[in-house]
Amino acid sequence: MRDYSPFTTGDSRSTSADDSRPVHGSPTPARLSRLSHALIAKSLAEALFIVALAVYFSYTNFNRYFRGSVDTADGRVVTGWVVNEASPGERVEVHLYVNGHFVNRGVADAPRPDVFEAGRSLDAYHGFVFNLPPLPPGGTYEARVYAMHATSDPGRRTLQEFSEAKQFSLTADGVNSSAPEAWRESEGRR
């Protein structure tokens, strides 16, 4: 077996005699102790750096001040409201997903006087209304609305859910079976 070491082979092609110097400054236990201290310090520094980076990431990429609700979700529309409490006058961009699929996006600027009256916003225009495309009847659906948060990094945007998902089902004839009876009756009369 070929010896990989240039120090013990005596290979004529091997490097100069200086290569064969087997010990270059054997460190004392004190030096190795300093090395282990350096390793500990490096580990701590990197751990602190990653923690700081994670906190910064969380702080800049997520907005903890979105408040809102998905009020209605049926076979035709999804409605609700959302306010950024850190900036109550701002119109929030919202994205609708149904069963995990992107459906549409818009701005929450529809009239919602009840939100204003409840003291949640500076004005009455924080509602959203999404018209749904025709959905296959006979299925159960889940609507989720996310507020879009633009970070300080122009390359990054995050979607944040501010309310519970709303579920609804459509009967075989396309009627929303989870809607109130009055709605179903009116749907049937059409």
Partner 1 sequence: MSGTELMDDAATRQEGALVASPEASDAATREGVAPGSRALAAWEIASVASSVVVAEWGVLALSSQKIMLAVPIACVFALMFYSHLLRGETPRELGWRVDNFIHASRLLLVPMITGALLLGLVGWLWFGGSFSFGKRRAGWEVLGFPVWGLAWGLLQQYVLQAFINRRAQLVLGKGVKSIVLVAAVFALLHLPNPWLTGATFLGGLLWAAVYQRAPNLYALALSHSFMTWALISTLPADALHSLRVGYKFFG
Contact set with partner 1 (CB under 8 A): 3-10, 13-16, 18-29, 31-32, 34-36, 38-39, 42-43, 45-46, 49-50, 53-54, 56-57, 153, 155-156
Q: Cβ closer to partner 1: 19 or 142?
A: 19
Tell me the closest approach of the beta carbon of residue 160 to partner 1, in angstroms: 18
Q: How far is the CB of 40 from partner 1 (least distance, A)?
A: 10
Please provide the DSSP assignment of 132-152 as one string.
PPP--SS-EEEEEEEEEEE-S
Q: For residue 40, what is the DSSP state?
A: H
Q: Choose between 13 and 64: whose C-beta lies nearer to partner 1.
A: 13
State the minimum distance, in angstroms, from the CB of residue 87 to partner 1. 24
Classify 16 in phi/psi space as left (phi over 0), alpha (psi -120 to 50) or beta. Answer: beta
Distance from C-alpha of 73 to C-alpha of 15, rounded to nearest angstrom? 78
Structure tokens given for 177: 């079976």
Closest to 94 (Cα-Cα) out of 164, 132, 147, 142: 147
* CB nearer partner 1, residue 38 or residue 86: 38
- Least distance to partner 1 from the beta carbon of 36, Å? 6
| 92, amino acid identity | V
